[in-house]
Amino acid sequence: MSEKKEQQKTFKPYVSPTENPKELTPAAIIIGILLAVIFGAANAYLGLRVGMTVSASIPAAVISMAVMRVILKRDSVLESNMVQTIGSAGESLAAGVIFTMPVLFLWSAEGLVDTPDLVSISVIALCGGLLGVLFMIPLRNALIVREHGVLPYPEGTACAEVLLAAEKGGEGAKSVFAGMGISAVFKFLVDGLKMVSGVITIPIAALKTEFSIETYPALIGVGYICGKDISSYMFAGGIIGWFVLIPAIVLFGSETVLYPGTTTIAEMYAEGGASAIWSSYIRYIGSGMVAAGGIISLIKSLPLIATTFRDTLKGMKGSKADSGKRTERDLDMRLVLAGVAAIILLVWMLPQVPVALPGALLIAVFGFFFGAVASRIVGLVGSSNSPVSGMTIATLLFATFILKTSGDVGMHGMIGAITIGSIICIVAAISGDTSQDLKTGFLLGATPRRQQIGEIIGCVASAIAIGGVLVLLNSAWGFGTRELAAPQATLMKMIVEGVMNGNLPWSLIFIGIFIAVAIEILGIPVLPVAIGLYLPLELSSTIMIGGLIRWITDKRAKNDGKANEAGGGILFSSGMIAGEGIVGILLAILAVTGIADALDLSSVLNLGMIGGVILLVIMSAGVFMAALKQKN
């Protein structure tokens, strides 16, 4: 305890509190908004494809440093930090939105509700985003200042290191932009010109299954960023699904008609192959695993949740809304409370948010609680390991049960439950991102009040953009399709419908739950294995390639004593993810406008699976060389 207090006492930020350099400038706001929209759209596309999002904080920091210092010749590190603060908000808000909001589009495709419009999506996203920022403001003193030296906030600390390494900003930005360029070209070849097969599939008749792998650059980038362990857990889940469960179902149940299927398993396999078995049965087992994994991670976090809430309430008593030091000035607490009250009233009153007063109050209580929990958990283990999905699942279960018990049943009750879950999910994601950004600012000597305004600006810009992105992607391909599986949203839909209507194949769900329990007993992280089982094998196979490249390059660097956690491989991979996401949005626009068909060259020149193999080799070599270059 005394050591912690000594660290707090002796800590001095990079920029002195007595200085007042440029920070929240028009240039920082404009560039930050552009990054928020770009990374938000790219992460939304990625999350809807593979059910995962990645942190944009470090690439946003690198790009902001390159643009502000190299191009605009501005030398204020706090101005660059503001660009990163605004830019990273887009990625976090997108993560919260795509886990839940596509459910409304899925119901619309079934003819159960009207198609959500851009305004409704943006209003719901904005309510969640603003609440996430406002709930974090009274927690800053308790979590960032008082817990300095205790909560490491890994992404926030890494961003501070990147921003301080000004002389490396341009080199790092080259890695990001190189990854974006290569990824954009390859994505356009595969899905734009359709000259190369997007999936390589090898049937395995002896096992009644198939091995498949996708040729998309973002997946290799995801694998490299996640690392060997997470990638291998996901691949293991895919192996269980496609090389254990599917062969077993086909072998033992060939003449059986098993709900939710309507024909015999043999007929289903003969018509649609292993993919038909996965769609009818494996994804339900996987959904049980994912739900169980999310709840297990939440249960394991309960001691931390209790400690967080206790410490937060204690810390808030000593918080100061404004002090003499620039580095201790938060937004006025009266403004914060008024903002929260106004948003809760809007949630209740606005027709675009179909939530009654009890639902609005649930949002206020769960929002602050899970916002505080997410803010502390990301301080300990980072944003990637925060159990946001578990919090959302718990919220959906509780909200659906309460609404059903109170008589709000049918589609109206389910829409209300999804809306409540959406806002809570966004609150948790944004609170975690805000706390990481405030940690970066604390280390650099930023003004908290200005950063909090920057977070609000980023949330507003991202909320407006994300509504258009979802409407566009749904118009182009539709959610729940091969192009956009929307796995997390599909799971949330199944949970709400299961509680409200009781129409889930519970036997399959419970098989997944008990597989998850067995994996937890073995001491293996459940969620990545569950996601690997829940998603098609072709996704986790490609992600595994990226994980193996990360393992090889890290091992070589460690042997040479040159390991670099923020190396060129991560930046190059982040660029690959952003590049594919941007082209994905572009292709969606072309599909909606009818131009996409004119670009299809598959009938003229089609390299097929051979071309896919070539692209995989080139992309893998690119990540490998980028990683080695930065670490040497």
Residues 467 and 119 sit within 8 Å (Cβ to Cβ)? yes
Helix axes 102-109, 448-476, angle to 10 degrees: 20
Could you read off the pLDDT of 375-417 as tens digits, one per residue?
Answer: 876 776 566 556 576 678 778 878 888 888 888 888 988 999 9
Total number of residues shown for the chain: 632
Structure tokens at 239: 């192996």
Q: What is the mean pLDDT of residues 127-149?
A: 86
Residue type, 586: L
CA distance 595 to 177: 27
Q: State yes or no: pLDDT of 167 exceeds 50.
A: no
Q: State yes or no: pLDDT of 152 exceeds 90.
A: no
The closest of 59, 42, 54, 56 to 172, measured between CA atoms, is: 59
Q: What is the mean pLDDT of residues 546-565?
A: 77
Could you read off the pLDDT of 497-537 as tens digits, one per residue?
Answer: 888 887 778 888 889 999 999 999 999 888 788 878 877 88
pTM: 0.74
Q: What is the mean pLDDT of residues 323-328?
A: 76
Structure tokens at 316: 């808030």
pLDDT at position 316 is 54
Could you read off the pLDDT of 14-51 as tens digits, one per residue?
Answer: 888 888 888 999 999 999 999 899 888 887 887 887 66
Structure tokens at 542: 């490609």
The closest of 543, 584, 629, 593 to 183, measured between CA atoms, is: 584
CA distance 156 to 148: 12
pLDDT at position 321 is 46
Q: State yes or no: pLDDT of 340 exceeds 90.
A: yes
CA distance 416 to 409: 10
Q: What is the mean pLDDT of residues 575-582?
A: 77
pLDDT at position 8 is 53
In Å, what is the CA distance from 38 to each residue of 59, 174, 352, 482, 580?
12, 17, 25, 23, 11
pLDDT at position 521 is 93
Could you read off the pLDDT of 230-256 as tens digits, one per residue?
Answer: 889 989 999 999 999 999 999 888 888
Q: Is 537 helix (H, G, I), strand (E, B) or coil?
A: helix
Residue 304 sits at the vertex; the CA angle it makes with 303 and 309, to the nearest 5 degrees, is 105
pLDDT at position 309 is 59
Helix axes 77-98, 118-136, angle to 10 degrees: 120
Lowest mean per-residue pLDDT among 469-473, 510-514, 573-577, 625-629: 573-577
User: How many C-beta atoms surround the C-beta of residue 552 within 10 A?
Assistant: 14
Phi/psi at 531 (5° precision): -65, -40
**Which residues are paired to 203 by β-bridges?**
210
Lowest mean per-residue pLDDT among 92-96, 271-275, 303-307, 534-538: 303-307
Q: State yes or no: pLDDT of 457 exceeds 90.
A: yes
Residue 478: exposed, middle, or buried by beta-carbon count in 10 A (0-12, 13-18, 19+)? Answer: middle
Residues 155 and 84 sit within 8 Å (Cβ to Cβ)? no
Structure tokens at 596: 């996409």
